[in-house]
Every structure is written in C-alpha cells, then in structure tokens.
C-alpha cells in the first residue's frame, strides 16, 4: 500500500503542475496577441524608415556625412543581446546565448568584444565569461519608445566617441507563435545601400537642408530600429513561452494518465492478492 500512496502523491503533484502550466499558457497567449499586434503594425514603418535612411546615406558627400555612417577599422565590437527577464520559454534565451558566444569566439575572435544586455537571463550568463558594460533588465517593466530611445542614445554616444567601432544586435525575430528566428543585425555604423540597388537617388529633394535631415532622421531611425528589435523579441518571448507551456501541459497530462494506469494496475494486483489470500485461508480451514 505504500507504493500506492507514493503513486497517488505523484498523480496529485503532476495534476498541480499541469494546472500551473495551463494557466501560464493562457496568460502568455493573452499577452502574445497584444505584442504581436504591436510588432506587426510597427514593422512596415520601421522597414521603410531604414530603407530611406540607407538611400539617404548613399547620397551624402563628405560635407554632410554623419558620424554614424563612418566606416572605421573594427577593433572593438559591442554586442547587444536581447533576452527575457523570466525563463520557462523553451530555447528562447539559450539560442541568443549560443549566438552571442559564436560571435565572440568565431566571427569577432580577433576583436575586443564587449556586451550590453537587455534582459536578466542573458545578463546572468554572459557576465560570467565576458565584460558586460551595462544591463537593461527593467526595460520590459514599462516597454515604450522613450525608454528604448534612452538606450539607443547611449549606444550612439559610445559609437560617436569611438569607444566601439561596430555595434551588433542579437535578438529573436518573431515569425509566429511556434517559430522564432535568431537574428544578428548591424546597428552601427549605418551601411548605405549599394549604388546598383538605388534607382532614384537624384530624385531626392532635401528640405530644409541635407544637414538637418541627417541630424534628425538618422538618430530617429536608429531608435526605431532598436525599438523594433526589442518589440520583436518581446512578442517572440510570449510565443515561445506559450508553446513551451502548451507542450508542458500535454506532457503532464500524458504522465498523469500513465500514472493513473499504473496506480489502477497496482491497486488491482493488490486486491487480487488479498482475494487469493482469503481463498487460500478458507481452503486451509476446510481441509
């Protein structure tokens, strides 16, 4: 009977876990809808602004070139990793960490690599092996453009001051609730489009002036690019967590069914043994 008691305890424990994972799945599904709508609505604007910025950069000469478009010899690289503050979202965070390690040990093995983290999970792991200049774990507490713009301003200042010659973003691109694609994206310097891909450079009319356009558009575009990346990651996080909790709930349900079957078999065997003992005792008395 001790064995039956142990199985009953496991069934109760798995049932409680299943309730928790099911609740987390529903919460993530509700948050995913809002996050997905936000990134879907933002992408066309951000992509068009980036396209315009690249085309504009291709038309600028030395007098109007922005410091953010200067191509320098790459010696110091800053990798900005965007993860989550919480776990239980499958391989969402570990994929970013793997890509960050790959960049540091392979792509930029001969460079001086530093990290800036957005999200607690990435910061907790990367700080053990690399130099992390800053963590922005609280940005998800109130995710809005102004808070992200402050981070973008710091990145732009670090590049303008020459502290880093290249800044790269690593984040999860949201495709759908079940699929997140790890994306590595150059943040600075700005890369102008190739001349053969630009068909209407001479059609641009700059008003009030090239200098003012550069001064206003480039910082705004960079802030929008970072905000889009964080929004993308935010939607991916909820999609990954919803999928992970869905799988966990299914696995818990399957385990509970198996335990229930095992419990019934053990209980049936125990009852059969008791019946055999009673019958055996009765036969012995008759004899």
200 vs 191: CA distance, rounded Å: 18
Other residues' Cβ atoms within 10 Å of the Cβ of residue 193: 15
Residue with tokens 């960490």: 97
Length of the chain, in residues: 287
List of E strands, 68-178: 76-82, 112-118, 132-135, 166-176
107 noted as active-site residue: no
| Active-site annotation holder among 14, 18, 89, 240 | 89
CB neighbour class for 255 (10 Å; exposed up to 12, middle 13-18, buried from 19): middle
With beta carbons less than 8 A apart as the criterion, state whether 229 and 143 touch: no
With beta carbons less than 8 A apart as the criterion, state whether 33 and 282 touch: no
What is the token pair recorded at 120? 């607690």
Catalytic machinery residues: 89
């Amino acid at each position: 009977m001790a064995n039956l008691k142990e199985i009953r305890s496991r069934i109760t424990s798995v049932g409680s876990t299943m309730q928790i994972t099911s609740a987390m799945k529903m919460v993530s599904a509700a948050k995913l809808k809002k996050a997905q709508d936000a990134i879907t609505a933002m992408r066309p604007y951000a992509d068009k602004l980036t396209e315009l910025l690249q085309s504009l950069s291709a038309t600028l000469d030395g007098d109007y070139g922005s410091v953010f478009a200067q191509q320098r010899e790459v010696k110091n690289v800053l990798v900005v990793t965007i993860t989550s503050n919480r776990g239980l979202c499958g391989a969402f965070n570990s994929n970013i960490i793997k890509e960050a390690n790959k960049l540091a040990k392979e792509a930029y093995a001969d460079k001086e690599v530093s990290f800036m983290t957005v999200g607690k999970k990435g910061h907790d792991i990367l700080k053990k092996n690399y130099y992390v200049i800053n963590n922005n774990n609280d940005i998800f507490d109130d995710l809005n453009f102004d808070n992200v713009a402050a981070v973008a301003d710091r990145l732009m200042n670090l590049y303008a001051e020459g502290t880093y010659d290249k800044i790269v973003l690593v984040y999860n691109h949201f495709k759908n609730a079940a699929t997140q694609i790890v994306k590595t994206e150059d943040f600075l310097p700005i890369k102008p489009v190739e001349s053969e891909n630009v068909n209407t450079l001479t059609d641009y009319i700059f008003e009030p002036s090239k200098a003012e356009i550069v001064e206003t558009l480039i910082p705004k575009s960079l802030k929008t690019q970072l905000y889009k990346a964080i929004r993308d990651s935010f939607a991916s996080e909820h999609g990954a967590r919803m999928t992970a909790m869905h799988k966990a709930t299914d696995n818990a349900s399957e385990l509970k069914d198996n335990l229930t079957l095992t419990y019934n078999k053990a209980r049936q065997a125990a009852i059969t043994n008791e019946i055999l003992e009673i019958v055996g005792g009765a036969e012995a008395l008759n004899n």
